[in-house]
Amino acid sequence: MDSAFSSGRQATACALLLATLISLPHLMAKTGWLERDQVYSGIPTRLGPFPWIHKVIYSDHADIDMAFVGSSKMWNAIDTPYVQRAFSERLGRDAKVVTLGWPWAGFDEVYLIARDLIERHRVRTLLVYDDSRGEDIPHATSTRTFRIGESSEALSGLPLLAQIRLYGGAVLAAPRHLLSAVRPAKDPTVNLGSEWTTPYYAPPTEERLGALRAGVSGGFDPHLVPLAPTSRALPADALIYSEETRALFEFSGPPLAPYQLHFARKLAQLCRDRGTRLVVVHVPTLAERLQSKVTERVSWPDLLGRDVALVGIPPAKMFSGMSDSDLGALFYEGVHLNRNGQDLFTRLITPSLQKLYDLSPTR
């Protein structure tokens, strides 16, 4: 009898604990226990430069001319200080250009972070490249950035299974968020540590306005030699998608998966509502080196709206005149540019970005 009573009490306690955990995200939302600005400073830097992202979103209130936002392809692709200098010279004032990048692709994370940025800043142009081809599931760090009450509008229109996955992540992350609320947050202005500098032989990302400038070649070889410009490509070879340039773009599929498509459309609508120009930047890969067209899985302007721009450079043009050894010195992995590739790509694409900036809405 006593054993059965004890087992019953344990079962009841477990049920109450489970019910409390399941309801915790809603309780946190209703009571306002947590502020949104506590999200990023509590994410470990091994998951990305989130203290830098926190600093840009919450500590700096300046208008932003151009923000590059997305996962590692974008994070490695753009020499952000170079773009800022070029825009400052063109505009005759100090331009504001930043990169917010992190590991692992997914339009859900792009939407959540871009929304926090755009809600607190006037962002004239938002540039993304986050074509996730993995499983159609929430991003690895969405448990940190998605919270009920702050991100609930993101659930509208999602299939039930996707909503359950996001809510389940919010349940699992709720105790961690509460812990972040009661302990001192990291100072978001401090150096991010060695997680992204040591293995990549890169300067601190905050010194590069958020960009990861990898100083390694294939296999993370640290003996990367600065590459003298051997490409015959010119900035005029970069293309903005239009009726006139359509023949130089190719859309090879497969279609965007439903979960990713939902957040890509949410992102496009967010930019539309806030007067921000959304630009998809095609970042070339080593496997594309012989392709004479900019190859994307879908036509982003046709999928997300004609106000969405697409820009890229045919890889065969970008890499023209380069030997195989030169090509190998542009990447540290087949899809990630190192500092050599970053320099080449940024200098070729920046004039087209300036054209798109001129065409962006003003608010």
User: pLDDT band at residue 223, thresholds of 50, 70 and 90?
Assistant: confident
Count of domains forming the chain: 1
Provide the token pair at 32.
């306002």
Determine the pLDDT at residue 19. 45
User: pLDDT band at residue 14, thresholds of 50, 70 and 90?
Assistant: very low
Tens-place pLDDT, residues 329-350: 999 988 999 999 999 999 999 9
User: pLDDT band at residue 16, thresholds of 50, 70 and 90?
Assistant: very low
Is 29 part of a structural domain of the chain? no
Determine the pLDDT at residue 33. 59
Tens-place pLDDT, residues 251-278: 988 888 899 999 999 999 999 999 999 9
- Picking from 334, 295, 313, the residue whose alpha carbon sits closest to that of residue 231 is 313
CA distance 78 to 87: 14
What is the mean predicted confidence (pLDDT) over 292-304? 95
User: 107-120 vs 258-274: helix axis angle to the nearest 10?
Assistant: 20
What is the mean predicted confidence (pLDDT) over 101-117? 93
CA distance 133 to 258: 12
Determine the pLDDT at residue 175. 61
Q: Is the pLDDT of residue 310 over 90?
A: yes
Is 27 part of a structural domain of the chain? no
Q: Is the pLDDT of residue 186 over 60?
A: no
Is 237 part of a structural domain of the chain? yes
Of all residues in the chain, what percent carry a pLDDT higher than 70? 80
User: pLDDT band at residue 286, thresholds of 50, 70 and 90?
Assistant: very high
User: pLDDT band at residue 40, thresholds of 50, 70 and 90?
Assistant: confident
Residues ≥6 apart with Cβ < 8 Å to 350: 82, 83, 86, 235
What is the mean predicted confidence (pLDDT) over 171-187? 60
Residues ≥6 apart with Cβ < 8 Å to 6: none
Q: Is the pLDDT of residue 174 over 90?
A: no
Tens-place pLDDT, residues 116-164: 999 999 999 999 997 767 778 888 888 788 777 666 777 788 888 877 7
CA distance 296 to 312: 10
Is 55 part of a structural domain of the chain? yes
Is 18 part of a structural domain of the chain? no
User: pLDDT band at residue 59, thresholds of 50, 70 and 90?
Assistant: confident
- Picking from 316, 323, 319, 310, the residue whose alpha carbon sits closest to that of residue 356 is 310
Residues ≥6 apart with Cβ < 8 Å to 290: 315, 316
Is 16 part of a structural domain of the chain? no
Expressed as residue numbers, the domain containing 118 is: 34-359
User: pLDDT band at residue 37, thresholds of 50, 70 and 90?
Assistant: confident
Determine the pLDDT at residue 21. 47
For residue 294, CA distances in Å to 71, 113, 249, 252 come to 20, 27, 5, 10
The full DSSP string for 97-130 is EEEEE-SS--HHHHHHHHHHHHHHS-EEEEEE--
Q: Measured over all CA atoms, what is the biggest interatomic distance in the chain, rounded to whole angstroms? A: 86
Determine the pLDDT at residue 29. 54
Strand locations in 116-166, DSSP E?
123-128
Determine the pLDDT at residue 36. 75
CA distance 273 to 361: 11
Question: Which string of b and e fits 335-357 if b means at least 16 CB within 10 Å?
Answer: ebbbbbbbbbbbbbbbebbbebb
Amino acid at 256: L
Is 108 part of a structural domain of the chain? yes
CA distance 180 to 145: 13
pTM of the model: 0.88
Q: Is the pLDDT of residue 250 over 50?
A: yes
Determine the pLDDT at residue 158. 84
Top-confidence range, 56-65, 318-327, 344-353: 344-353
Provide the token pair at 39.
């999200």
Determine the pLDDT at residue 293. 96
Per mean pLDDT, which range of 12-16, 247-251, 255-259 is the poorest? 12-16
The rounded mean pLDDT for the chain is: 84
N residues, the chain: 363
Which helix (H) or strand (E) is 69 found in, with range?
strand 64-70
What is the mean predicted confidence (pLDDT) over 299-304? 95
